[in-house]
C-alpha cells in the first residue's frame, strides 16, 4: 500500500489521521489489496468458533507418568518420599537456592514464610498492589494488615521509590512494617536491588512472591532467591505444574527446617504424636513431586516456547495503534508466562473489554490484568501508597493466550481477531 503523507499532530505530540485521509488511503490501495483485507475479515468472522484456546493450560513433557508410576510401584503415596527429596534438591539447583520445601501451594509457602518472618496479630505487611489475591490472603490469615504499594511503569512491579518513601516516613513515626511481599508479575522480575537495600536499611524482612516468575532472571540470579525467603507456584496454569503445589526457598537452613515442621502439623520429635505449636497440613504429595521433577526438566523449553509466542504477538501487533506490550526490563529475562499488553481505546478504536469479548466469541480465552488489591471490595479501606499506575494497567491491560503448547495457527487466530476488530473500529 502507498501511504499518504497527510498526518496531523495533536497537542500532545501524537499523530492522528486527517478526517479526509480515510478516503485518500482507500484510493491509494494497491490493486487487489482491499479485496485481500476484506477476505481476511470475512474469514475470521464468518467461520465457526475455534476449538477452545485456553489462556495457559498445562503442558506435559511425557515423562510425568514414568515418575508417577514409580511412586505407585514403590508405594510412596504419601507426603513423604524420594521424589519429594529429589524435587527439592533439583529445584534448588535450578534457581540457585540453598534450601527448599515442597508444599501444597504457593499460598501455603507464603503463609509459612510470613509466619517465620515474625508476622502476627496487628502487624503490617507492605505488598505489591498489582497482583493475585494469593499474595495478600496469608497476611490476613496471620491477623496482620496489608498496605498496598503501587507499580512502576517500566516493569509493572513494585515501585522502589514509592517503597523507599513509605518506609522512610514509617521509620520517622516508629511504625515500620514487619515484612514486604515483593511480587514478580507475569514472569517479569521486579527491580530487586533497591528494594532489598531499603528493606535491609530499615531491618524489614523481604519475602519474594515469584509464583509467576520461575525461569525468569534478575541480573545473574533468579527472582525468589534474594530476600529472606521466596515462594513459587506449580498451579495448573503456571509455566510448569504439579497440578497444584508450591515451593518455599531460603538461604537459611533453620528457616526451612522450621517451615517443614509447621507444614507437617508442627509435630514434635517424639515416638508419639506430640504438638507444642499449631501447624498446618501443607506438605506436597510424593506423587505430585514426581510430576514436578519431570516438568522441571523442560523448564527452559517452556520459557523459550512462551517467549517465541510473545515474539509472534509482538511482531504482528506492535504497529497497531493503541497497543503496547508489557516491557522487558533491562535487568533480566522475562519468562513471558503470559503475554500482556495495554489497549488505548482512543488509538485502537475499542477498549480492553471489547477485545476480550470478541476473542471469547471465537472460544479464545483472554483475561484482564489483575485487578489491583487496593480496588478489591474485600480490602477497601486498607492503606495504600500510590495506586494510579496499577489502576491504569488494570483498566487497559489484557492477557493473551500464552500456553507453551499453543499451535501457530491458534496464535494467528488471536492476532487476526485483534487486527480485524481494529480494522472495523478504526
For the segment 37-91, what is each residue's pLDDT rounded down to a tens digit?
444 444 444 446 789 999 999 999 999 999 999 999 999 998 999 999 999 999 9
Asked whether the predicted pLDDT for residue 400 surpasses 80, the reply is yes
Packing angle, helices 408-425 and 33-46, rounded to 10: 110
Which pLDDT belongs to residue 7? 30
Contact 227, 237 (CB under 8 A): no
Cα–Cα distances (Å) from 68 to 143, 246, 290, 342, 377, in that order, read 39, 18, 6, 41, 42
Number of domains into which the chain is organized: 2
pLDDT over 50 at 370, yes or no: yes
- Determine whether 407 is exposed, middle or buried from the number of CB atoms within 10 Å of its CB (0-12, 13-18, 19+): exposed
pLDDT score of 17 more than 50? no
pLDDT of residue 266: 96
Q: Which of 297, 314, 343 is the last residue of a domain?
A: 297
**Of 336, 398, 389, which Cα lies nearest the Cα of 158?**
389
* Statement to judge: residues 70 and 181 lie in one domain: yes
Give the pLDDT mean for 320-347. 98
- Per-residue confidence at 426, pLDDT binned at 50, 70, 90? confident
- Average pLDDT value for residue range 249-253: 98
Locate 135 and state its grid cell: 499474595
Q: Which residues pair with 407 in a beta bridge?
A: none
Q: Are residues 111 and 250 in the same domain?
A: yes
- Same domain? For 133 and 199 the reply is yes
pLDDT at 276 over 50: yes
Supply 324's cell numbers: 503496547
Residue 155's nearest CA partner among 409, 405, 389, 423 is 389
Determine the Cα angle at 381 with ends 152 and 131, to 5°. Answer: 35
Residues 82 and 215 in one domain: yes
Q: Is pLDDT of 322 > 50?
A: yes
Mean pLDDT value of segment 250-258: 98
Based on the domain organization, do 283 and 321 belong to the same domain? Answer: no
What distance in Å separates the CA atoms of residue 148 and residue 187, rounded to the nearest whole number? 20
Half-sphere exposure in the Cβ direction for 263 (13 Å, CA) = 31
pLDDT of residue 50: 84
Return the pLDDT at 268.
95
Instruction: Assess whether pLDDT exceeds 50 at residue 284.
Output: yes
Top pLDDT among 290 and 38 is at: 290
Q: What is the pLDDT of residue 30?
A: 39
Range of the domain at 48: 37-57+300-425
Shared-domain flag, residues 288 and 366: no
- CATH code, domain with 223: 3.40.640.10
Between 17 and 212, residue with greater pLDDT: 212
Is 315 inside any structural domain?
yes
Q: Who contacts 61 (Cβ-Cβ below 8 Å, separation ≥6)?
A: 294, 295, 297, 298
Instruction: Please give the mean pLDDT across all residues of the chain.
Output: 91
Asked if the structure places residue 27 within a domain, the reply is no
Residue 391 to residues 131, 325, 378, 396, 405, Cα–Cα distance (Å): 12, 16, 16, 9, 31
Q: So what's the pLDDT on residue 14? A: 36
Average pLDDT score over residue span 219-245: 97
- Among the candidates 255, 278, 297, a domain finishes at 297
pLDDT at residue 18, rounded to an integer? 34
114 and 188 together in one domain: yes
Whether 415 is covered by a domain: the verdict is: yes
Q: How far apart are CA 130 and CA 155, in angstroms?
A: 11
Amino acid at each position: 500500500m502507498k501511504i499518504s503523507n497527510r498526518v496531523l499532530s495533536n497537542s500532545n505530540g501524537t499523530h492522528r489521521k486527517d478526517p479526509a485521509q480515510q478516503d485518500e488511503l482507500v484510493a491509494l490501495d494497491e490493486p487487489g489489496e482491499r479485496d485481500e483485507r476484506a477476505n481476511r475479515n470475512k474469514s475470521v468472522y464468518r467461520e465457526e468458533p475455534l476449538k477452545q484456546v485456553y489462556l495457559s493450560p498445562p503442558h506435559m513433557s511425557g515423562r510425568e507418568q514414568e515418575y508417577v508410576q514409580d511412586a505407585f510401584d514403590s508405594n510412596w503415596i504419601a507426603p513423604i518420599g524420594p521424589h519429594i527429596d529429589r524435587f527439592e534438591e533439583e529445584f534448588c539447583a535450578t534457581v540457585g537456592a540453598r534450601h527448599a520445601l515442597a508444599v501444597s501451594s504457593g499460598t501455603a509457602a507464603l503463609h509459612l514464610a510470613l509466619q517465620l518472618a515474625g508476622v502476627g496479630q496487628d502487624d503490617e505487611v507492605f505488598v505489591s498492589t498489582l497482583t493475585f489475591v494469593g499474595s495478600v490472603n496469608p497476611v490476613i490469615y496471620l491477623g496482620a494488615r496489608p498496605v498496598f504499594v503501587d507499580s512502576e511503569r517500566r516493569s509493572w512491579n513494585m515501585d522502589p521509590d514509592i517503597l523507599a518513601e513509605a518506609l522512610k516516613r514509617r521509620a520517622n513515626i516508629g511504625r515500620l512494617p514487619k515484612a514486604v511481599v515483593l511480587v514478580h508479575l507475569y514472569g517479569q522480575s521486579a527491580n530487586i536491588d533497591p528494594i532489598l537495600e531499603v528493606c535491609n536499611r530499615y531491618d524489614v524482612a523481604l519475602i519474594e512472591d515469584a509464583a509467576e516468575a520461575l525461569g525468569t532472571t534478575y541480573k545473574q540470579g533468579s527472582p525468589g532467591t534474594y530476600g529472606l525467603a521466596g515462594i513459587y507456584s506449580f498451579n495448573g496454569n503456571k509455566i510448569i505444574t504439579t497440578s497444584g503445589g508450591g515451593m518455599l526457598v531460603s538461604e537459611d537452613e533453620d528457616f526451612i527446617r522450621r517451615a517443614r515442621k509447621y507444614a507437617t502439623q508442627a509435630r514434635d520429635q517424639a515416638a508419639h504424636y506430640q504438638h507444642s505449636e499449631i501447624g498446618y497440613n501443607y506438605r506436597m504429595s510424593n506423587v505430585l513431586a514426581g510430576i514436578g521433577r519431570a516438568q522441571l526438566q523442560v523448564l527452559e523449553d517452556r520459557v523459550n516456547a512462551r517467549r517465541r509466542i510473545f515474539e509472534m504477538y509482538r511482531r504482528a501487533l506492535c504497529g497497531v495503534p493503541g497497543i503496547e506490550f508489557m516491557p522487558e526490563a533491562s535487568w533480566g529475562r522475562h519468562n513471558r508466562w503470559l503475554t500482556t499488553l495495554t489497549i488505548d481505546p482512543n488509538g485502537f478504536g475499542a477498549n480492553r473489554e471489547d477485545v476480550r469479548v470478541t476473542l471469547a466469541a471465537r472460544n479464545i480465552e483472554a483475561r484482564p490484568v489483575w485487578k489491583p488489591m487496593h480496588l478489591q471490595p474485600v480490602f477497601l479501606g486498607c492503606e495504600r501508597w500510590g495506586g494510579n499506575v496499577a489502576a491504569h494497567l488494570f483498566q487497559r491491560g489484557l492477557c493473551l493466550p500464552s500456553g507453551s503448547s499453543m499451535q501457530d495457527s491458534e496464535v494467528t487466530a488471536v492476532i487476526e481477531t485483534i487486527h480485524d476488530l481494529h480494522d472495523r473500529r478504526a
